[in-house]
Amino acid sequence: MSETIFSKILRKEIPAKIAHEDEWTMAFHDINPQAPVHLLIIPKKQISTLADVQEEDMPLIIHIHKVAQKLAEAMELEGWRIVVNVGEKGGQEVFHLHYHLLGWTKE
């Protein structure tokens, strides 16, 4: 897999406003938010797209969803969604698997 901006963020060579980090994942604020809360959740394992996920990666995928739930709860989001773009025609711009957590706070 080629080097991406997310690889550099994971190595902390590029600054990011990190909302969560653990052994398997990192979540940080998107620099071009599409909702009041817009986080990117990425695995530390380099996987190009969701289409490249293997059976052995299922615990990681489940973990990412749990991270999204925990972040939504901690940020007291009233409504939220997860978006994953797959492939260039699917809108994917960075070829490192990432989940967009888009959320709306209580008003």
1 pLDDT higher than 70: no
Confidence grade of residue 2 (pLDDT, cut at 50, 70, 90): confident
Distance CA 9, CA 1 (A): 16
The catalytic position among 20, 63, 96, 98 is: 98
Distance CA 107, CA 102 (A): 16
Concerning whether 29 is annotated as a catalytic residue, the answer is no
The answer to pTM > 0.85 is yes
Residue length of the chain: 107
Answer for the pair 101, 66: CB distance below 8 angstroms, yes or no.
no
pLDDT in tens, 11-66: 999 999 999 999 999 999 999 999 999 999 999 999 999 999 999 999 999 999 99
Answer for the pair 49, 95: CB distance below 8 angstroms, yes or no.
yes
Distance CA 105, CA 19 (A): 16
pLDDT in tens, 87-102: 999 999 999 999 999 9
Domains and CATH numbers, the chain: 5-105 (3.30.428.10)
